[in-house]
Amino acid sequence: MTAVIEVDGLRKSFGRARALDGLDLTVVPGEVHGFLGPNGAGKTTTIRVLLGLIRAGGGTARLFGEDPWSRVTTLHRRLAYVPGDVTLWPNLSGGEVIDLLARLRGGLDEKRKAVLLEKFELDPAKKSRAYSKGNRQKVALIAALSSGAELLILDEPTSGLDPLMEAAFRECVEEERQAGRTVLLSSHILSEVEALCDRVTIIRAGRTVDSGALADLRHLSRTSVRAELDRPPEGLDGLAGVHDLDLAGTRVSCQVDNSALDELLVRLTRAGVRSLVSQPPTLEELFLRHYTDQP
């Protein structure tokens, strides 16, 4: 089975600024793949290379096994794209834009379009200049989701959506997965990726720093714990599965593998717990703690 997206050692510089510096990304058919990284990591640049909008500076990029730069029209017939920052023609209505983008691709599923318009509560008769950022994003999303394309490339598609619309968006991605389509979802929000994706690729400063199934990424299967205790705790130091321990008198903060969570809590309760906060690590923490020193 050939990969839908196969990027290997991709490089790209703009003047002296290096945007991509040996990036790897593999997306296999039928998966929802999270493409995770902080702002400026090179997510959009990678996508623009994959769309043939800019040329790779080094390394290889393959879309459906073909060169995205030279095979633009054949490849684009098979994909739909939602940019992160959607700009539309101000004097065209949302409905006109949706129909135009779909027809350029060869047609759209009218029934699905009607369902999506309903679901995202979009008024297609409004001129684009009157749309908010979220509504412009909905226009691009509806055009992409009603296209029936094999591959959806979504660049931070929920950045302007409210929580209700985000839920609608997640349902749609789930439907696409069940229909056997492939999705590349770029994001800087870990929880969104966790909720939707089968596998993730984490990038930083133009390089891939981690990639795999979510469950396999050990950094992601940790819990971050902060606690305030009655007395200084004992026996935390050197406890297997506890990382980044920060002990200051009666205050504790650390990251713990989920397998060692039980043991940690036992020791904390022994010292008398006054308050406890536990949460999955945020992307920021991951980058701060695990990916900063890696090249």
Partner 1 sequence: MTALTTGRRQPAGPQPRAARRGLAGTGPLVLLALRRDRIFLLIWLYVIVGGLASTTYSFRHLYITEAQRASLALSIRNNPSFLALSGPVYGNSLGSLIIWKAGLFCAVAAALLGIFAVIRHTRGDEEAGRLELLGATVVGRYAATAASVAETFGACVLIGLLIAVVQVLFGLPAAGSLALGAAVALTGWMFAAVAAVCAQLTESARTARGMAIAVLGLSYLLRAVGDPAASLHWLSWVSPLGWVERIQPYSGARWWLVGLCAVVSVTLAGLAALLAGRRDLGEGWLPARPGRAQGPAWLRTPLALAWRLQRGGLLGWALGFAVTALVLGAAAKDVGSSLNSSPQTRDVILRMGGHAGLVDAYLAIELGLLGVVAAAFGVAAVLRMRGEETEQRAEPVLAGPVSRIRWAAAEVMLAAGGTGLLLAVAGLATGLAYGLSTGDVSGQLGRLLGAALAQVPAAWVLTGLAVALFGLAPRLAIPAGWTLFGVAALLTLLGPSLRLPQWALDLTPFAHVPRLPGGDFTAVPLLWLTAVAVALTGAGLAAFRRRDLT
Indicate the residue among 77 and 231 with the shorter CB distance to partner 1.
Answer: 77
Q: Among 146, 22, 12, 139, which Cα is nearest to 86's?
A: 139
Binding flag, residue 281, partner 1 (CB under 8 A): no
Indicate the residue among 101 and 205 with the shorter CB distance to partner 1.
Answer: 101
Q: Among 174, 102, 173, which Cα is nearest to 139's?
A: 102
- Site residues (CB under 8 A) for partner 1, limited to 34-73: 48, 51-55, 72-73
Interface mask toward partner 1 for 191-220; x: CB under 8 A = ------------------------------
3-class DSSP string for 10-76? EEEEECCEEEEEEEEEEECCCCEEEEECCCCCCHHHHHHHHCCCCCCCEEEEEECCECCCCCHHHHH
Binding flag, residue 21, partner 1 (CB under 8 A): no
Indicate the residue among 102 and 220 with the shorter CB distance to partner 1.
Answer: 102
Q: Which of 101, 200, 227, 252 binds partner 1 (CB under 8 A)?
A: 101
Interface mask toward partner 1 for 236-275; x: CB under 8 A = ----------------------------------------
Q: Among 27, 9, 54, which Cα is nearest to 153's?
A: 27
Shortest distance in whole angstroms from residue 125 CB to partner 1: 4
Between the CA of residue 194 and those of 145, 170, 287, what are the distances in Å?
A: 21, 11, 16
Binding flag, residue 119, partner 1 (CB under 8 A): no
Q: Which of 65, 100, 121, 174 binds partner 1 (CB under 8 A)?
A: 100
Q: Give the Cβ contact number of residue 274 at 10 Å.
A: 11
Binding flag, residue 97, partner 1 (CB under 8 A): yes
Residues in the interface with partner 1 (CB under 8 A) total 45
Shortest distance in whole angstroms from residue 15 CB to partner 1: 11
Q: Which of 87, 163, 234, 238 binds partner 1 (CB under 8 A)?
A: 87
Indicate the residue among 89 and 288 with the shorter CB distance to partner 1.
Answer: 89
Q: In this structure, are residues 152 and 197 in contact, taking their beta carbons and an 8 Å threshold?
A: no
CA–CA separation, 229 and 269 (whole Å): 8
CA–CA separation, 27 and 4 (whole Å): 6
The number of residues in the chain equals: 295
Question: H or E stretch including 88?
Answer: none
Binding flag, residue 16, partner 1 (CB under 8 A): no
Q: How far is CA 171 from the centre of its chain?
A: 16
Shortest distance in whole angstroms from residue 216 CB to partner 1: 32
Q: Which residues of 171-205 are buried (b: 16+ CB within 10 A; e: fewer)?
A: ebbeebbeeebbbbbbbbbbebbeebbbbbbbbbb
Q: Among 160, 162, 163, 203, which Cα is nearest to 33's?
A: 203
Shortest distance in whole angstroms from residue 55 CB to partner 1: 6
Q: Which of 8, 85, 230, 284 binds partner 1 (CB under 8 A)?
A: 85
User: Site residues (CB under 8 A) for partner 1?
Assistant: 48, 51-55, 72-77, 79-81, 83, 85-101, 103-106, 124-127, 129-130, 140, 143
